Amino acid sequence: MKNKIPKTAVVLLSGGLDSATVLYLALAQGYKCQVLIFDYGQRHKQEIDCAIKIAKASGCEYRILKIKFPWKGSALLDNKIKVPEEITSGVPVTYVPARNIIFLSFALSLAEVIKASAIFIGAHAQDYSGYPDCRVEFFKAFVEMAKAGIAAKHRIQILTPLLNKSKSRIIRLGRKFGVPFNLTWSCYRAGKRPCGKCDSCYYRAKGFKEAGLIDPLANR
């Protein structure tokens, strides 16, 4: 009996706990994962090193793609724009214009070349409803665009398994699959320690508390 060839997937890995959970979920589902990490001039560059460590811990091959947003337009790209220390309404200043469109486009190109059957992204809508590229409508529209815009004859799924899950459910799921949360970075600010004040830090702390678990970075 011949050995079954594993399914191949491209996984977008930022270094945060969401994308790390998606990577381990894809592995648990039997995918051979090609990890794609973006260096896009983000102020919280620690996440790049964390993404590399997570990819290595998972045993997956990874690529680092360096791109530029010379026009900036986000607190994550422009140090002159302050990262808020409280939750705000509307589209947050930490939103990077069209980021998921750009990231998924690169992932789609890679998936077509390596004949991957799926792309995994760790976006979720519940806590980040202010981000227009984390909505269900966006991903549905991107899937339809992808069908019309590539030459590949094989089907490439765009999978968002965390999209409607709360942060606490994501953390519990990550724990189930052995995600090394100690290697992840969620804070929007650069520094040796998470600031504990930005949106991302707030939702991470809230998620661990609601999951009844201790964040390994809490006392870092």
- Write the burial class of residue 149 (CB in 10 Å: 0-12 exposed, 13-18 middle, 19+ buried): exposed
Nearest to 104 by CA among 61, 53, 48, 157: 157
Q: What is the pLDDT of residue 1?
A: 43
* Per-residue buried b or exposed e for 71-108, using 16+ beta carbons within 10 Å of the residue's own CB: ebebbbbeeeeebeeeeeeeebbbbbeebbebbbebbb
The correct answer on CATH 3.40.50.620 for the domain covering 7-211 is: yes
Nearest to 140 by CA among 117, 163, 114: 163
Q: What is the pLDDT of residue 126?
A: 67
- Write the burial class of residue 191 (CB in 10 Å: 0-12 exposed, 13-18 middle, 19+ buried): exposed
Are the beta carbons of 200 and 42 closer than 8 angstroms? no
Q: What is the pLDDT of residue 103?
A: 98
Q: What is the pTM of this model?
A: 0.94
Q: What is the mean pLDDT of each run of 10 residues along the chain (220 residues)?
A: 73 97 98 98 95 98 97 95 84 93 97 96 76 91 92 90 95 97 94 89 94 87
Q: Where are the domains of the chain?
A: 7-211
- Work out the end-to-end distance of the chain between its first and last CA atoms, rounded to an integer number of angstroms: 50
